[in-house]
Each structure stands twice: as structure tokens, then as C-alpha cells.
Chain A
């Protein structure tokens, strides 16, 4: 584990923001921190980044309790983010990089690398207020990663990006992961969670309600719905162990969606149908993270 929080509690004046929150983030993975608005994600991130302190509980980085110097190892792109409007892009990036512990020389060298990578060298002497929102986002992304931190925290990193730039950011995130960085991604965009995350934790009403590998979670939340493609154009079988959800003729085939009851296994279901029809293909529907999210939160 690269990062662990154990039983973190944070109480604000009128409400409990985090209640015994424990998450485990393995090294060199992308960890999705999910949850509805106001669930406590930002508070947890602020505790990890040492912006606020927990009332009780602990944050462990690399197996040790986190300490003040650890902020240099963290790159944080907050959801509420901006830049000094009147400053020049290059100056501003230099300033932020130096604040994150880089020397002037190192900061400049790293900046050149990143500005070239994102193809924004022309903007170096432009004022921030002249840039579009997407361009500003790129500068913010750079200033988050410039000091080569081991732990990266992105809160809604894709908002404000067009699909092309969002893709660039995704690619950069995966590249950083391959370099051995640990990434926490907090987002409402569930497609990107499926695409990028290895593990997730779902926080709901100040508590962790779901945590684990993305694939395991999707498997655990299978709705027991199976899709069959059969030869022929008719299906009229009835059985107490399954319900037909839909049927749709497709050329010389017929496509079915079947809800399996829990009294039989999936093998038994397939066998039941194989006995009567010629099965061209079948598979089980895996829930999207979106489904898992909605089901968990509205339960």
C-alpha cells in the first residue's frame, strides 16, 4: 500500500463530514474516489493533502504516518482551481513549481519539458486572463505534476476539457502510473473510472460504502442478466428460474435478455436453453460503474 487512511473522522460545526473512513491505495495504481456531491470526498482529499487535520484517525504514506514534508510528494489538482489572472503563464508556473519545493533551475528545466509535451511554449509570456479555460486547465495540470510527486490527486480533472484534451490528460495519467506514480482520481465521470481506475472507494453520507478492484466490484454487482442469440425467430419458453426481459428478431436470429433467478447457477440456465434451442452466442451483462454507483447510492 502506498497510501492508507485508517478510521479518519472529521466533524464540522453542524455535520459529520467523515465517519471512520479507511481506504487503501496500492502503489502505482489509479484509485477512484467516488461519491455523490457532499459525500465528503473533498474533505478526505484535504486531509490527505494536509490542508486540514482529521479529528481522529491516521493517514499513512509509504507505511509511515504522514508528515509535513510529504506535501512535496503530493501533486493536487483541486476541483475549485484557478490561476492568478494578471500573471504571465510562465511566471505563474515557475512560482507554483518553486512553492512545491523545486529550485529555480529545476523548475525551469521541468517546465520546458512539460510545455513542449503539451505544445504550449507559445503561451509562456501570455497573461493567464488571455487564455481559454481549457488552456488554463493545461497549465494547472502541469503545475500539479511539475515537481514529480509520487502521489497525484486529481479532483474532476476533465471538467472544462474538450474530448481531444481530455484524452491527452488521460494518456498522461496512465503514463504517470506506468512511471510508478500513485494516482487518486475523484470524478463523477464513470466512464473514465472504468477506463482508468484499478481500484475505487465509494463514499456515501460520510462513510465508505464500497471499496475494491473495479473489476471485482462490477462482478459483485452483476444483475444476473444474460444475453442470448439463438437461431430461429421464435422463443416461447417459460420457466420459474428465469424471466424473459426482451426479445428482438435480428436477421435469422433472435436476441434475448433474460433475468436469472438466484435458485439456479448460470451454467444451469444455459443448459436449460441449450436443451431447447440452438445457441449462437451468450454472455452475461456486467454493470457499468454508473449502474453500480446509482444502485449503491440510492439503496
Chain B
């Protein structure tokens, strides 16, 4: 086996065999699933407990309209009991809804009192109910005034009842003229997912490369190594070996997630197997088929292809930078001066990606996805939304051009840096190293 192969093999094997790697790789998907399911579960818990709401209606018009639901129990309280309902708040009463006047005359004569902030859901339910009634009242007034044709009133009533029922269908016109149904939500989710993956990967594995370079320097094995391996091979071996560790982790996560989601969709597709009552509201009539159709309509091969391209480019670019700076210093404590700006750039790219979701064709998204230091992270947000081919190609060319330049530079600095001990070099000195033979 050649030396580069040996170096790659060692970097790979020693890491993949580590207990911490195995544990993290297996636990991470469990953790992610748990983290996403727990809030869902907590919200179902909340729905389970019934909340009592006292309705004090001086007019007597509105109280009967409030129908109790699973979550909220409305109790109409008459005059005699009116003495002191406030003292019951927080005990058997969750909130008090008080209507003092005819809302048709004074729309502000209604209040909701509770100890905790009343949930949005409850507020909008009350407002909707009252609005409907007041609209009816106004229409009643109108018809009783006799100035308007009764027929017209009836029609207006039915229009109001039915509502507008607008539903927006978003379509996307491809460059080849075909029209496909698109889903902004889905594109957002996919874009964010890949962006977070690349971001995490660059930070985690870039740091791992840095640690590896520092470890060799600190343990003083590096001079032993360079007497039989060319420094550039040592660097390439390290970057490739550790990159492969990351790929292994991603593949394992992908398989585990695949298993999990096929299990989940199996459960959802066969309701009998799952207690639907335990599902949060809205999930019971989950449009699984529709979602599946949309998921299938996404151009996965294209996204996958670009993901791999940007993933490789971004990882090598940043791994080279991390290795370059790590080779120049003696210990972790000295890395801050060089690493902080690099980390800031990565975090900036991540934030730019985050905001680009809202406006995938805006100037921020456009430029950040062309500049090589942020493009691997930002571009993945934009690709699911569909962008012109030339932008993708330009971005890839710029990224790969930059990473080739940077890795040549990194190799030159690394070669000198790993054998230098003592004083922390300045950027100026590091530039001088580039010219050493």
C-alpha cells in the first residue's frame, strides 16, 4: 500500500474505532428524533387537561354561542353567582370571559381575564365566534330596517357563511417548459436540512482536522512522520481520512433516519395501530399522501448531486484552512487568534443561509451563494427553490478554484509550520514560509 493510503487508513481507522465516535453516531439520530418529538408530545399533554372558562354575559345574547371543546369548558355564570368569580381563578377556573354590553353597539365591551397569558388558540376562537354573531346582528338590523331587498340579505348571509375559500397552489415553471407543483414549505425544510448538515460538518470535522494536526505537533511525532512521508501527503491523508469518517457518520445517520421514517410512515398509514387521540390536533388528518407526492416531486438526484459537490468543496476548503493555522501554532490555546475569524465566517454563512430561506433570490442569498467561503452553506438553501444553472456552475467553479488555491497555500505553510516550535508566528511570517524551498 502506498504511503498516502496508509496515512488515510490510519486517520480513518483510529477514529471510527473510537468509542466516542460509535456512541455519537448511534445516539445522534435518537437524540434528534427525541428533540423533535418531545415538543409535539408536550403539546398533546397540554391539550389533555381541560380548562374551565366562566362566561359572564350581561346581554345574554352571546353566552349560548360558546360550545365547549375538548380543551375548553365554557360555563355560563348567572347573576347570583357573580359575586366573586375572580377568587376562583387559577383554581377551578382558567379564565373569565365578560361581556358587558351589546357588542353590536360597542365592539370593545368584552374582556378575557386570566392569571396566565391566554393561549392564541383560545383568543382567536372567542373572537371568531363573536365576530360571526355580530356580523349576523348587523345583517339582522339591516334587514329589519326594510330598506334592503330581503333576497339580497339572504344571499349576503350565505356568502358570509361560506367565506372566500381561497387556496393558493404554487407551481414552478422549469426551464424546459414543464410545470411542476412546488411546495415552499418543503423546499425550506430540505434547504435548511442540507445547510445545517454542511454547516455542522464543516465546523465539527474542520475542528477535528485542527485537533489532529495539533496532536501530531504536540506529541512531537510529526518530525518522525515527515522523515518518511511528504508533508503534503500527510496533510492530504489527514483531510481525506477525517472526511471519510464524516461521510461514514452521514451514511449511518441516513440509514437510521430512513429506517425511522419508513417506520413512522407505516404507523401513520395504518391508523389502527396508533391511538389517534394521542396525536396532536391537526395531525389526525395528516395528508400523508399529499406530502409523499410532494416529497417525490422534489428533484432529489439534482439536490443530492449538488450536495455532494458543495459538501466536498466546503469541507476541503475549511479543513485546509484549519490545518494551515493549526500547523503554525503549538497548542490549542494559541489557535484562537486565527480560528476566531474563520469560525465567524462560518457562522455568518450559516446566518446568511438562514435568512436566505425567506428570500432565496435576494441579493444576500445571491452573493453569499457565489462567494466561496459561504457558498457551500448558502447554496444548499437555494437549490431546492430552483435557481438558474449558470449560478450553480459559477458557484461550483469559484468554490473549487478557491479550494485548490487555498489547499496549495495550506500545504506550503503546513510543511514549514509543523516543524516550527516556540514563538507563535504572525501572518506576515506565515506568508514568508510559502516561499521556502
Which residues on A are within 8 Å of B, measured CB to CB? 12-13, 46, 49, 51-55, 71-72, 74, 76-78, 80-87, 95-96, 98-101, 140, 143
Please tell me which one of the listed residues B3, B223, B436, B437 contacts residue A80 in the complex, with CB atoms under 8 A apart.
B223
Task: Say yes or no: B228 contacts A78, CB within 8 Å.
Answer: no
Contact count band on B: 20 to 34
Q: How many A-B residue pairs have CB under 8 A?
A: 65
Q: Which residues of B contact A55 (CB under 8 A)?
A: 437
Q: Given the known inter-chain contacts A52-B437, A53-B437, A100-B228, please indicate yes or no for A84 contacting B419, CB distance below 8 A.
A: no
Task: Say yes or no: A13 contacts B227, CB within 8 Å.
Answer: no
In the complex, residue of chain B having the shortest beta-carbon distance to the beta carbon of A104: B1
Q: Given the known inter-chain contacts A52-B437, A82-B219, please indicate yes or no for A96 contacting B432, CB distance below 8 A.
A: no
Q: Which residues of B contact A96 (CB under 8 A)?
A: 224, 228
In the complex, residue of chain A having the shortest beta-carbon distance to the beta carbon of B227: A76
Name the prevailing secondary structure of the A interface residues: loop
In the complex, residue of chain A having the shortest beta-carbon distance to the beta carbon of B437: A53
Q: How near does chain A come to B167, taking the closest CB pair, in angstroms?
A: 60
Complex formed: what's the CA distance from A72 to B227 in Å? 9
List B227-271 residues whose CB lies under 8 Å from chain A. Answer: 227-229
Q: Which residues of A contact B229 (CB under 8 A)?
A: 99
Cβ-based interface call for B139 (8 A): no
Task: Say yes or no: B224 contacts A81, CB within 8 Å.
Answer: yes
Interface CB pairs A-B, < 8 A, 9: A51-B223, A53-B437, A78-B223, A78-B227, A80-B421, A81-B224, A82-B224, A96-B224, A99-B7
Q: Which residues of B contact A95 (CB under 8 A)?
A: 6, 10
Complex formed: what's the CA distance from A194 to B138 in Å? 116
Q: Which residues of A contact B220 (CB under 8 A)?
A: 78, 80-82
Task: Say yes or no: A98 contacts B437, CB within 8 Å.
Answer: no
Q: Given the known inter-chain contacts A55-B437, A99-B6, please indicate yes or no for A87 contacting B14, CB distance below 8 A.
A: yes
Task: Say yes or no: B219 contacts A71, CB within 8 Å.
Answer: no
Please tell me which one of the listed residues B215, B224, B437 contacts residue A78 in the complex, with CB atoms under 8 A apart.
B224
Q: Given the known inter-chain contacts A13-B429, A82-B219, A99-B3, please indicate yes or no for A143 contacting B14, CB distance below 8 A.
A: no
Cβ-based interface call for B389 (8 A): no
Q: Which residues of B contact A77 (CB under 8 A)?
A: 224
Task: Say yes or no: A51 contacts B1, CB within 8 Å.
Answer: no
Q: How near does chain B come to A140, taking the closest CB pair, in angstroms?
A: 7
Cβ-based interface call for B221 (8 A): yes
Q: Which residues of A contact B215 (CB under 8 A)?
A: 84-85
Q: Which residues of B contact A140 (CB under 8 A)?
A: 224
Cβ-based interface call for B225 (8 A): yes
Name the prevailing secondary structure of the B interface residues: helix
In the complex, residue of chain B having the shortest beta-carbon distance to the beta carbon of A100: B228
Cβ-based interface call for B387 (8 A): no
In the complex, residue of chain B having the shortest beta-carbon distance to the beta carbon of A87: B14
Q: Which residues of A contact B421 (CB under 8 A)?
A: 80
Q: Which residues of A contact B419 (CB under 8 A)?
A: 46, 51
Task: Say yes or no: B227 contacts A98, CB within 8 Å.
Answer: no
Interface centre among B219, B220, B221, B228 (most CB of A within 10 A): B228
Complex formed: what's the CA distance from A101 to B3 in Å? 8
Please tell me which one of the listed residues A46, A84, A100 contacts residue B219 in the complex, with CB atoms under 8 A apart.
A84
Complex formed: what's the CA distance from A7 to B398 in Å? 45
Complex formed: what's the CA distance from A83 to B224 in Å? 9
Q: Which residues of A contact B228 (CB under 8 A)?
A: 71-72, 96, 99-101
Complex formed: what's the CA distance from A87 to B436 in Å? 33
Q: How near does chain A come to B172, taking the closest CB pair, in angstroms?
A: 51
Complex formed: what's the CA distance from A80 to B10 in Å? 22
Complex formed: what's the CA distance from A13 to B206 in Å? 30
Q: Given the known inter-chain contacts A84-B219, A98-B1, please indicate yes or no for A51 contacting B226, CB distance below 8 A.
A: yes
Please tell me which one of the listed residues B6, B216, B218, B223 contacts residue A98 in the complex, with CB atoms under 8 A apart.
B6
Complex formed: what's the CA distance from A51 to B416 in Å? 10
In the complex, residue of chain B having the shortest beta-carbon distance to the beta carbon of A54: B437
In the A-B complex, list the 7 residue pairs whose CB atoms are closest, starting with the nearest. A82-B220, A82-B219, A78-B223, A76-B227, A82-B221, A53-B437, A80-B220
Q: How near does chain A come to B17, taking the closest CB pair, in angstroms?
A: 10
In the complex, residue of chain B having the shortest beta-carbon distance to the beta carbon of A78: B223
List B411-435 residues whose CB lies under 8 Å from chain A. Answer: 419, 421, 429, 432
Q: How near does chain A come to B350, taking the closest CB pair, in angstroms?
A: 31
Q: How near does chain B come to A5, taking the closest CB pair, in angstroms?
A: 16
Q: Given the known inter-chain contacts A46-B419, A95-B6, please indicate yes or no for A83 contacting B221, CB distance below 8 A.
A: yes
Q: A82-B219, A85-B219, A96-B224 are in contact. List 6 more A-B contacts (CB 8 A).
A: A54-B437, A81-B223, A82-B220, A83-B224, A95-B10, A99-B6
Complex formed: what's the CA distance from A6 to B220 in Å? 30
Complex formed: what's the CA distance from A149 to B92 in Å? 89
Complex formed: what's the CA distance from A233 to B91 in Å? 118
List B1-39 residues whose CB lies under 8 Å from chain A. Answer: 1, 3, 6-7, 10, 14
